[in-house]
A and B are shown apart, each in its own frame.
Chain A
Amino acid sequence: FMAFDPPSSRKKVVRKRGASPEAEEPKPGKRKTVMRRDGGMSADFDGEDRRRAREARFTQYNAMVQAREARPNFRVTKLAYTPASVDIDLALIPACEGTCQALEKDYLRLTTAPDPATIRPEPVLKKALAHVLGRYETKDNPYHYLCGQLKSIRQDLTVQRIYNMFTVEVYELAATMALQYGDQAEFNQSQSNLMPLYSQGLVKSQDRLYEFKAYRLLYTCLMGARDELNRELAELPLLSQGDRDRPEIRHAMKVVQAWTQGNYIRFNKLYSQAPNSGKQVMNLFRRVICESVYPKLLKPYRPTPIPVDYIKDVLFPFNAEYKQFPTGEDMWEDFVKTKQFVFVPGSSQDLDTKKCLANFSKVQEEQSHNPGFS
């Protein structure tokens, strides 16, 4: 999938020897039969290696173009809450009224203005949502399918500029489902789309509103997005005392405090007490937590040993009954593999803190923008 026109229309910029398979007629001469990766044979022009190299160059070119466009030329387009962007600029296409009646529709990113025959009108979308809900409850469908269906419903809604209670319902379901399956990107999109809808007054129930507000507080805090966290916090003084004392909001504020103070034990306690789906939100950042807390479990204890079980309890405090995706056991195994534990000679429990710390510094990845626990 290319983000720009194929090279034939950019003759000045990109000079290619040989053709790109999509754009031009196959030229005679360089045709040869090569073995494909899956074992079949294909008449490949210029060889697959060259094609792959060309594609790699194009991805670099794409990345360069994107970087150039992303570089600030002081074009401020959105400052505060905005609906998440779709691939095309919505302002450019007129709102259309759909005619499609299909119940199920796969999700495709839009690259041009959509054909009204493929867009479903609201009554159909409502039936489609009920259909998806049914499938979700029977729990026999994979996540990609459910997510794809929901995304196509959302796309149809956005294209038709339908912003009402039904949209809110769709986004709430999408967010909850994304949490169940640990899909951070989806969750982020859904919850950032929910907020402008809520602020327009499309609130079904106050409980849900505050539930998602709490999720947003948790999410922005753990994400390290100080901008947005400050904006969320700035709304708190405007709430009534009764709303501020809601358990979800109080819990979220305590998590913010524990996170900024670096108190991982308190964080774990709050994790076990998290209302609604707070646990799943906090689990989205399990990896970040581990990376930032692990050295704190080693360096201060040097040179005495520390039991492995303690590390496991602190970093992966999951109960056996709690089923989530991925499971705690999987995460722990991944962790163990990457961390190269070194045990104190003569013991299978106690870690040699000095050596483990040395290993950790060696394999430490470059710091992401999320500094984790302070």
Chain B
Amino acid sequence: QNDAESVYFFSSSISCPSGAMLLHDLLNTISDMMKKSRGQAVASLLKQRDPQWLSAVGNADVVQYLRHLDGQWPEALGNYVKALYHESRDDYEAALTASTQAVTSFRKQWQEQYEKEHPKPNWSVPIMALLLGKYRVLVMTANEMREDKDNETSTKACNLMTQFFTDCQGDRTQDLDCSRKQGTLYVINNLFKIYFRLNNMRLGKALIKSVEADGSNTFERYKMSQKVTYNYFLGRMCMFDNNYQKAEDHLQYAFANCHRAYTKNKVRILIYLITVQLVRGQFPKQHILQKYGLGVFIELVRACRTGNVRLFDQTMHTQQDWFIRRGIYVILQKAKIICYRNLVYNTYRFINSHTNINFRLKMEYIQHALQICEVDEDESDLEEVECILANLIYSGYIMGYISHSMRMLVLSKKDPFPNPHAS
């Protein structure tokens, strides 16, 4: 039905190029769809970016035009259209007001009894997704423009959205296909986007708990695009909590299921996936980094792979802003231990390039290796070497022990350098 309606709209645009006529037709189509409760069709019709169409909105009182729709629908849809118009004019304040009005009216509509008793209560969920999405975008823009100290706008937005969340969760329809619970992930993803932008992860945890409480049955029924977004945010949250195994699983799921066409999303997922794998000792292939435009990581990966400590520090310093903006600076510091592990391993291989392997490695050799990397004098004294080795052994990257008095690392005879990714 979706295509039929869009075709109808396009055909009408070909025949009547004037903006006002377009608007007229569009609103009529929307009203028709509303009467038939076709939420998805209405949502796709409302996704308008055509400038000709948008400029026609300016003078029209859209709310009044839709007055024949019952309940709060005129306000909800009309204000949404107004918000689009204001946004195209770069009038973000007005757009935000209109959008807030749309969202609140929509919510009021949802509270109506006849809506709740509709045979398919989640028919309007696509519209909700659209309204909330636009609302969130406008809130984020307003946040940056207003330089809100207390983040008042985002607080209000979050409050509003969590009300939607409770609405969705509170729906008691038996049939899961018709239940408003289908809308939960839309709301959650929008909330996540706000929280992550504001670097406030704590609040996201509560949301995750409630989704997990629902069980996998409900989860399977959500749309894949929403599941991908959800897993992306979940992965980032786990990464934030130093739970790298789980983070990798979620991000792998998101990456694998993200549609081929959405390259930007794939790149976003990949950034965090690479970080998590790097910290656990798995290096991405160079052609993948180049394919997705993540050349930033190339030097870093090379430094870790070869054990070049100086290069690692340098890269972290030059790319500091890029990493900080994506929130991975602190986590990437932990990849340094992989770097050190490879440095010690290479030293060990070099010293033992003859046939008879000596399982005792003097710390001086590692100190020399550090100096070859051109690490500063005060950062490569024996105490630091000892500390580095202690960390490596403690975390399990090296099997062996340190003799403090003899300044020596004694390696175990069996597999002294286990593969870091396997651990």
Q: Which residue numbers of A lie inside 8 Å of B, CB to CB? A: 72, 74-82, 196, 199-200, 226-227, 229-231, 233-234, 236-237, 256-257, 260-266, 269, 295-297, 299-307, 310, 371, 374
Contacts and interface: CB of A to CB of B under 8 A. Distances in A.
Contact of A263 (B206, B320, B388, B401): B388
Contacts of B256: none
A80 B197 CA distance: 11
Nearest to A253: B320
B200 A262 contact: no
Contacts of A200: 149
A310 B404 contact: yes
Contact of A300 (B203, B383, B389, B405): B389
A77 B199 CA distance: 15
Given A265-B384, A304-B405, 18 more contacts: A74-B206, A76-B155, A79-B155, A196-B149, A226-B201, A227-B199, A230-B199, A230-B327, A236-B320, A260-B330, A296-B390, A300-B389, A300-B393, A300-B394, A300-B401, A301-B404, A304-B403, A374-B334
A155 B154 CA distance: 28
Nearest to B400: A300
Interface residues of B, number: 48
Given A233-B329, A236-B324, A299-B394, A74 B165 contact: yes
Going nearest first, the 3 A-B pairs with the smallest beta carbon separation are A74-B162, A300-B393, A72-B206
Contacts of B329: 233
Contacts of A266: 379, 384, 387
A301 B324 contact: no
Contact of B325 (A80, A237, A297): A237
A76 B394 contact: no
A127 B104 CA distance: 51
A296 B391 contact: yes
Contacts of B166: 74
B378 interface: yes
B389 to A, nearest CB: 7
Nearest to B165: A74
Contacts of A72: 203, 206
Interface string B376-408: 001100011011111101100000011111000
Given A76-B203, A79-B151, A79-B155, A261 B402 contact: no
B159 A75 contact: yes
B162 A226 contact: no
Contacts of A74: 159, 162, 165-166, 206
16 contacts: A72-B206, A75-B159, A76-B162, A78-B151, A79-B150, A200-B149, A231-B199, A234-B199, A236-B320, A265-B384, A266-B379, A300-B389, A300-B402, A304-B401, A305-B404, A374-B334
Nearest to B324: A233
Chain B interface main SS type? helix
Interface of B: 149-151, 154-155, 158-159, 162, 165-166, 198-203, 206, 240, 242, 316, 320-321, 324-325, 327, 329-330, 333-334, 336-337, 378-379, 383-384, 386-391, 393-394, 401-405
Contacts of B394: 295-296, 299-300
B200 A79 contact: yes
B337 A261 contact: yes
Contacts of B199: 227, 230-231, 234
A305 to B, nearest CB: 8
B325 to A, nearest CB: 7
A264 B200 CA distance: 29
A264 B390 CA distance: 10
A359 B125 CA distance: 59
A299 B402 CA distance: 9
A263 B149 contact: no
Contacts of B159: 74-76
Nearest to A297: B390
Nearest to A221: B330
Contacts of A236: 320-321, 324
Nearest to B335: A261
Contacts of A75: 159, 162
A243 to B, nearest CB: 14
Contacts of A77: 155
Given A226-B201, A234-B324, A300-B402, A260 B334 contact: yes
Given A199-B149, A227-B200, A310-B404, A79 B158 contact: yes
B384 A234 contact: no
Given A237-B321, A266-B379, A260 B333 contact: yes
A301 B159 CA distance: 53
Contacts of B384: 263, 265-266
B324 A80 contact: no
Given A76-B159, A299-B393, A264 B149 contact: no
A233 B149 CA distance: 17
Given A74-B165, A300-B394, A82 B150 contact: yes
B383 A80 contact: no
B348 to A, nearest CB: 16
Nearest to B390: A300
Contact of B330 (A256, A264, A305, A371): A256
Contacts of A231: 199
A75 to B, nearest CB: 7
A76 B153 CA distance: 12
A299 B389 CA distance: 11
Contacts of A233: 324, 329-330
